[in-house]
Amino acid sequence: MIKRLLFILLIFCSLESFAKDSLLKIKLNGLKKQTVKIHNNILENNKELKKIKIDIDRNTQKKIIYKKYIKNKDLLGRRIVFLLQDKFYTNQFTRIAKNLNNSSNDMITKQVIREFFLKQVKTGISEYFVTLENLKSIDSDLARELENYKKKKKNLKKKLSELEKKIKEVASIQKKIKTDKKLKIKANKLRKKAKNLNDLVKANETRSKIISKIRSKIKMPVLGEIISDFGQGKDIHNLKNGMVFKVKEESFVTAPINGTVVYANKFRSFGNLVMIKNNKGLTSVLIGMKNLLISTGNEVLIGEPIAKISSNLKSQLYFELRENGKIVDPKSKVEIL
Is residue 196 within 8 A of residue 50, CB to CB? The reply is: no
Of 200, 175, 222, 266, the closest CA to residue 39 belongs to 222
Crossing angle (nearest 10°) for helices 2-71 and 104-176:
170
pLDDT interval class at 70 (50, 70, 90): low
pLDDT higher at 27 or 117 = 27
- pLDDT band at 336; cut points 50, 70, 90: very low
Residue 248 three-state SS: coil
Whether the pLDDT of residue 118 is over 90: the answer is: no
Q: Mean pLDDT, to the nearest integer, of 184-207? A: 84
Instruction: Flag whether pLDDT at 211 surpasses 90.
Output: no
Give the residue, 115 or 35, on which the prediction is more confident.
35
* pLDDT one-digit tens code per residue, 226-269: 999 998 887 777 888 999 999 988 899 999 999 999 999 999 88
Fold classified for 2-176: Helix Hairpins (1.10.287)
pLDDT of residue 88: 46
User: Where are the CATH 2.70.70.10 domain residues in the chain?
Assistant: 181-333
Burial class of residue 133, CB neighbours in 10 A (0-12, 13-18, 19+): exposed
How far is the C-alpha of 164 from the C-alpha of 171, rounded, in Å? 11
Overall CATH class of domain 181-333: mainly beta
* Main-chain dihedrals φ then ψ at residue 199, nearest 5 degrees: -60, -45
> What's the mean pLDDT in 55-72?
71
Q: How confident is the model at residue 178 (pLDDT cuts 50, 70, 90)?
A: confident
Q: Which of 35-49, 173-187, 265-279 has the least mean pLDDT? A: 173-187
Query: When comparing pLDDT for 101 and 162, which is higher?
Result: 162
Q: For residue 30, which phi and psi values (nearest 5 degrees)?
A: -65, -45
Q: How far apart are CA 274 and CA 201, in angstroms?
A: 10
Bridge partner list, 266: 272
Q: What is the pTM of this model?
A: 0.73
The mean pLDDT value of the chain amounts to: 79
Closest CA to 201 of 306, 40, 327: 327
